[in-house]
A and B are shown apart, each in its own frame.
Chain A
Amino acid sequence: MSYVDAGYTVALATLFVYGLGLGLRRRRWERALRANEAPADPAGSGERS
């Protein structure tokens, strides 16, 4: 592999992996938010001042 190929591979692979990681983090937080919504609402704690 040439230096040029290595440079492009590292750059694109890193951005891809980071973007994928962000997507997974977003999904995990969205699931946690939905899971918390059910027990939180009956307590009437959704309104905060």
Chain B
Amino acid sequence: MNPTGSVSRPRWLTVVGVLGVVAVGFTVWLGLWITPPDAVQGNLARLVYVHPAIATVALYWAGGVAVAASLFYLWPRTRTFFWDRLAVSAVEVGAVFAALTCVTGSIWGRPAWGVWWAWDARLTSTALLLLLELGYLALRRVPTDPAVRARRSAVAALLIAVDVPIVHFSVDWWQTLHQGGTVLDPGFHLHIHGSMAWTFLLGFIAFSLIFVWLLGVRYRVEVLSDQVGDQEMDVSLAERWSEGTELVGAAASSPVPAAPPGGAPTMVDQ
């Protein structure tokens, strides 16, 4: 068994990546050229084909994977570094999607609300999620034992996860500038139809596929960096071992060591 995990390039991941790129291409084509403008928002509504999909990935997919992986790591029966690597991969990719959620939302908000930013509950809690994810990534850079780092990171991920339901329910708990359910209302009545509905759905699928692909590639980077770290540790230990053997050998072969030219003591003398 490979203690650092598999580093092979799985074919399914390439397929997912290609499908994701194709699906994003179709989403852009449908969203910008095929779907009609909205009756109220006009062309501005075209941003709805990317912003909610990106936010869904940031909040639910990345958040869900990070929480589940962290729980599996903390649970003694399932504790392996696979879960730790998966968690950090999900958090990093999630941070990219969270940043995009804020930026695309801001780009929509400027013409729709008249401001780039408002201290609205949904916006603020989403920005907080991004900051917490960046904090998680910074925490992992603190040098320490890998097991300590993994346990610390798993606890941090669970603390970050508290923000996820706050983001989700913020539009229900508080009176916010951000609208509530855009597609489905609380009674699960659909408010989008025809080509707009299909494009909206395709956007969700496309960005979800891109998320899975990025997650897989990021996981592989983590495995490779761990393997290189292990190798460098092995090389370092072998060099130290070699140096120690040479010193012991030199001491054994010359019981009365010759003084160096300067007369300074050596390690063998001591």
Contacts and interface: CB of A to CB of B under 8 A. Distances in A.
Interface string B185-214: 000000000000000000000000010011
Given A3-B110, A3-B111, A10-B104, A33 B227 contact: yes
A12 B104 contact: no
Interface string A11-49: 110110011001101100110110011011001111010
Centre residue among A7, A18, A22, A30 by max chain B CB count within 10 A: A7
Given A19-B217, A26-B221, A8 B50 contact: yes
A12 B32 CA distance: 13
A37 B217 contact: no
A33 B231 contact: yes
A46 B232 CA distance: 11
Contacts of A23: 217
Most buried by B among A2, A3, A36, A46: A3
B54 interface: yes
A6 to B, nearest CB: 5
A22 to B, nearest CB: 5
Nearest to A48: B3
B225 interface: yes
Contacts of B232: 36
A36 B104 CA distance: 43
A4 B32 contact: yes
B99 interface: yes
B24 to A, nearest CB: 7
Nearest to B231: A36
B234 A15 contact: no
A44 B159 CA distance: 43
B269 to A, nearest CB: 29
A23 to B, nearest CB: 7
Given A15-B210, A22-B214, A26-B217, A4 B235 contact: no
B104 A40 contact: no
Contacts of A14: 96, 99-100, 103
A46 B238 CA distance: 11
A30 B231 CA distance: 12
Contacts of A22: 214, 217-218, 221
A26 B224 contact: yes
Given A40-B231, A45-B235, A15 B100 contact: yes
**In the complex, the 3 A-B pairs of residues with the closest C-beta atoms, listed nearest first:** A29-B224, A45-B234, A43-B238
Given A10-B103, A26-B224, A46-B234, 20 more contacts: A3-B44, A3-B47, A3-B108, A3-B111, A4-B43, A4-B44, A7-B50, A7-B104, A7-B108, A8-B32, A11-B50, A11-B54, A15-B210, A23-B217, A26-B221, A29-B227, A32-B228, A33-B228, A39-B235, A45-B235
